[in-house]
A and B are shown apart, each in its own frame.
Chain A
Amino acid sequence: MQSRLLYDIIGLALFAGVILFGVPALFGYDGFELNTFSRYLSLAIVSMALALSWGTAGLLNLGQAATFGMGSYAMAMHLKLKASGDNLPDFMSWNNVEALPLIWAPFHSLTFTLLAGLLIPAAVGGLIAIFMFRARIAGVFVAVITLAFLVAFQLVVIEQQGLTGGQNGLTGLAPLVLFGWSVDIYSLSFYYLVGACLMIALVFGLYLTHSKFGLILRAIREDSERTRYFGYNVANYQTIIFSISAGLAGWAGMLYALVLEFASPTYMSVSFSLAIVIWCAVGGRESVLAAAVGAILVNLAEGRLSDVFVEGWHLLLGVLFLMVVMFMPRGIYGVIVDAGRAMRRKPVSKKEAQPFETSLNPKRES
C-alpha cells in the first residue's frame, strides 16, 4: 500500500510536470493550442470524477454529463448576465419573458456562481444517490437510473426555452472577471488556472482513494454485502462518493463553459456521457490519475486524427474502444501495473495468478 502511494505521487509529479511545463513549451505558448489543451484538461477533471465513483466504488454513473451540464450552465448564466448588463438576456426577450426569472437573480454574484457550480451538482448527485442506494440498487440498475435521469434532464433543459435558451443554449457570454483579473481564455494564465484546478482535483482524488474511506469504497465495490456485515453503512459511503463525483463534474463543467464560451444542451447528451465513460475506461478506471490521462489522450487523438480522417474518425474511436474493453479491461493503467509487476517478480504461472473461483456458476448481476 505504501509503495502504491509512492508510485501515485511520482506519477502525479510527472503528470504535473508535463502538463504545466512540457505542454506550453511544446506548443510555443501558442494561444489557440493552449485553449484547446485547457479544454482537454477540463474534460480530464470530469473523467477523474467518474473514476472516483465507477473505478473506486463500482457505481457506473451514465448520468455524469447531467451534473457536468449543471456546472457549465451555472457559469454561463453568470457570464450571460454580465454580458447583458442591465437588460434582460437577449434570448429571454425572444421568448417573451418579461422579468428576470427568480433563479437567475443570484447568479449576478460571482461567489454564488462558483459555489452553485460546485454545490448544486453535488446536492443533486447526493439526492439521486440517497434515492438509489437506500434501496440497495446496484450494478446495472444504477446505470439505467442515471441514464434515464440524464435523458429526462436534457429534455427539461431544452423544453424550458425562456429559462435556458433551449436547443441553442447560452451564447454571447462576457469574459469572466476573477478578483479584478479579466480572464483571457487564450492566455497562458488561463491555461494555468485550468491546470491548477485539475491538479487540485487529482490531489484530492488521490487523497480520497488512499484514505481509509477509499479502502472501504473498494471493499464495497468488491462485495457490498460483506462490507455491510462488517457494520459499515454502505449506502452512506456510496452517497458521499457519488455526491463528490457529481460536484467535481460540475466544477469541470464550469471550466468547460469558460473555455468554449458557451453552454449547450449537447453537454448533457447521452453520447457525451458515454464518451466520458470511454475516456475513463481507456485510461484505467481504478486510478484517478490514469482516468485523467485517458481523457487527455483520447481527446488529443480525436483532435489530431479527426483532421486526417474526417469521415472515419468515429469508426476508429469505436474500434479502439472495443479493443480496450476486450483486451485491456483495466485500461492503460492495468497494462502499466502488470508490466511493472512482471519486471519486479519472476513470472507467476497462470494457475497461481488466477484467484480461486468455482467456475461452475459464473457470478452475475441479477
Chain B
Amino acid sequence: MDVVLNQAFAGLSMASILLIIALGLAIIYGTMGVINLAHGEFVMLGAYTTWALQNHAGLGVVTALPLVFVAVAAVGWIIEKVIVQRLYTRPLDTILATWGIGIILQQAVRLGVGAESRFVRGPQWLSGNIEIGALVMSNYRIFVISFSLAILVVTWLLMTRTEFGMKLRAVIQNRGISECYGIEAKKVYSVTFAYGAGLAGIAGALITPLFSTIPTMGTGLVVDAFLVVIVGGLGSLMGTAAAALLIGEVTAIFSIVINDTLGRIAVLAGIILLIRFRPRGLFPSDIRR
C-alpha cells in the first residue's frame, strides 16, 4: 500500500510537468491547428537556460523561472514569425517543419553547449520532505504540483477573463469573421505561440532538478504531452488537465503493477483505442468549427 501511495505521488508530480508542457501544446494546436513537434525542444531550451542562469548568474531555479519564460517565449515568437506563419494553410506540413526546427534547436545546443548531461541544483529552501505515515513527499515536488496548478488557473483566466483571451477565442472559432471585426489574427497567433513556448520553457526549468539535462531530453516528453492533448480533447483546458492527471497516474501505477515498459505499452495501446473510438478526445470542447 505504501508503495502504491508513493508511486501515486510520483505520478502526480510527473502529471503536473506533463500538464504544463501539454497546456502550451494544446493552446498552440487549438488555436492554429499546428502540431508543434519542436515543443520538446522548447522544454530542453528552458532547461538549458536554467542551467546557464544558475552557473553564470547564480540564480536559483525558482528565481530563474520568469527569465526562462521570457527567453523561451522570445525564441518561440521568432520561430512563429519566420517559419510557422508561412505554413498555416498547410497543416500537415507544419508537423514536418516543426520537426525540422526541433532538429536544428537540438543540434545547435549540442554544438554550442555540448552533449554531456548537465545538472542543476534544486533550491535549498525546498530540500526537505513532508512525511505523512509512510508517504514521503519531497517539498520540491509539492512545489512543482502547486505551481502547475497555478499556471493552469492563470491560463484559464487569460483565456476567459482578458481581452486578449476573448480575441483568441474569437479567432479559434472563425478567423475570417474575427478579422472583419478588426482583430489582428496574425498578432494573436504570434503571441499565442510565444506563450505556449514560454510554458514549455517553464516546464523545462522545473524538471531540471529532477532529471539530468541533455539535448535529447525533449523528444520523449513531446510524445507524451502530445498524447495528453489528443486524449484531453482539442481546445479544452480542463480536458488537458484531466488527461495529464490520467496519463501520469496510469503510467505510474501500471509501472508497479506490471513493469515500466509494459505499463508504457499499455498506456499507448489505451491511447490508440481512445483515438479510434473517441477521436475528439475524452472531454471535447463544444466549440463550433
B35 pairs with A155, CB closer than 8 A: no
A364 pairs with B100, CB closer than 8 A: no
A278 to B96, CA, bound (A): 8
12 contacts between A and B (CB under 8 A): A137-B279, A140-B92, A143-B95, A148-B227, A159-B262, A311-B110, A315-B108, A319-B100, A322-B100, A325-B96, A325-B100, A326-B83
* B:61-110 near A, CB below 8 Å: 83, 86-93, 95-97, 99-104, 106-108, 110
Contact of B100 among A132, A144, A321 (CB under 8 A): A321
A361 pairs with B104, CB closer than 8 A: no
For B99, B223, B226, which residue has the most chain A Cβ atoms within 10 angstroms? B99
Per-residue interface assignment for chain A, residues 110 to 153, with 1 indicating a CB less than 8 Å from any chain B CB and 0 otherwise: 00000000000000000000011001010111011101110110
Shortest Cβ distance from A366 into B: residue:
B289
A145 pairs with B275, CB closer than 8 A: yes
- Range, interface on chain A: 35 or more
A132 pairs with B227, CB closer than 8 A: no
B151 in the interface, Cβ–Cβ < 8 Å? no
Shortest Cβ distance from A359 into B: residue:
B176
Question: How many pairs of residues, A versus B, come closer than 8 Å at their CB atoms?
Answer: 114
B8 in the interface, Cβ–Cβ < 8 Å? no
Chain B interface (Cβ < 8 Å from any Cβ of A): 33, 35, 83, 86-93, 95-97, 99-104, 106-108, 110-111, 174-177, 219, 223, 226-227, 230, 234, 261-262, 264-265, 268-269, 271-272, 275-277, 279, 289
A60 in the interface, Cβ–Cβ < 8 Å? yes
A149 pairs with B100, CB closer than 8 A: no
Contact of B223 among A132, A135, A147 (CB under 8 A): A147
With A144-B226, A315-B104, A318-B104 in contact, is A155–B279 under 8 Å at CB? no
B104 pairs with A311, CB closer than 8 A: no
A52 in the interface, Cβ–Cβ < 8 Å? no
For A139, A159, A318, A325, which residue has the most chain B Cβ atoms within 10 angstroms? A325
**A361 / chain B contacts, CB cutoff of 8 Å:** 174-176
B275 pairs with A137, CB closer than 8 A: yes
Expressed in whole angstroms, the minimum distance between the Cβ of A18 and any Cβ of chain B is: 28
B103 pairs with A318, CB closer than 8 A: yes
Contact of A311 among B89, B103, B111 (CB under 8 A): B111
A144 to B276, CA, bound (A): 11
A312 to B108, CA, bound (A): 8
**B268 / chain A contacts, CB cutoff of 8 Å:** 148-149, 151-152, 155
A281 pairs with B265, CB closer than 8 A: no
A60 to B261, CA, bound (A): 27
A364 pairs with B271, CB closer than 8 A: no
A156 to B268, CA, bound (A): 12
A322 to B91, CA, bound (A): 15
With A140-B91, A322-B104 in contact, is A152–B97 under 8 Å at CB? no
**A141 / chain B contacts, CB cutoff of 8 Å:** 230, 275, 279
Contact of B101 among A60, A270, A322, A362 (CB under 8 A): A322
**A135 / chain B contacts, CB cutoff of 8 Å:** 276-277, 279
For A137, A139, A144, A311, which residue has the most chain B Cβ atoms within 10 angstroms? A144
